[in-house]
Amino acid sequence: MADQKNMRDNGAFFAQVRGRVQGVGFRYSAYHEASRLGLTGWVRNTYDGEVEVWAEGPQESLDTLIQWLYQGPPRARVDEVDAETKSPTGAYRVFSIE
């Protein structure tokens, strides 16, 4: 029963991050930030030079990660973040780099 309550209290988002976001440690840094926030999900590069993020967890932590995505690591240049609210799946136990 507690797991169902936690699922209701949690949120999720899918984000696409555009700019100079590959080859600058973006995935590694996003992984550490999401893990620090206690989120689950993944981060991955796309073939067209973007980074995609799926994250699940407490809404406050999700909001913090979204704000971080707009900045990224020091060597990144983020031009755009397109984040969509989603329903959490509960399918992930950790945050990983894909």
Q: What is the pLDDT of residues 3-14, one digit of tens each?
A: 544 556 899 999
Percentage of residues in the chain having pLDDT higher than 70: 92
- Active-site residue 45, yes or no? yes
The answer to whether 88 touches 7, Cβ cutoff 8 Å, is: yes
pLDDT at residue 1 tops 50: no
- Active-site residue 77, yes or no? no
Confidence of residue 22 (pLDDT cuts 50, 70, 90): very high
What does pTM read for this prediction?
A: 0.90
Q: Which domains are seen in the chain, by residue range?
A: 14-53+60-90 (3.30.70.100)
Give me the catalytic one of 18, 27, 44, 93: 27
Distance, C-alpha 70 to centroid of its chain: 11
What pLDDT, on the 0 to 100 scale, is given for residue 9?
80
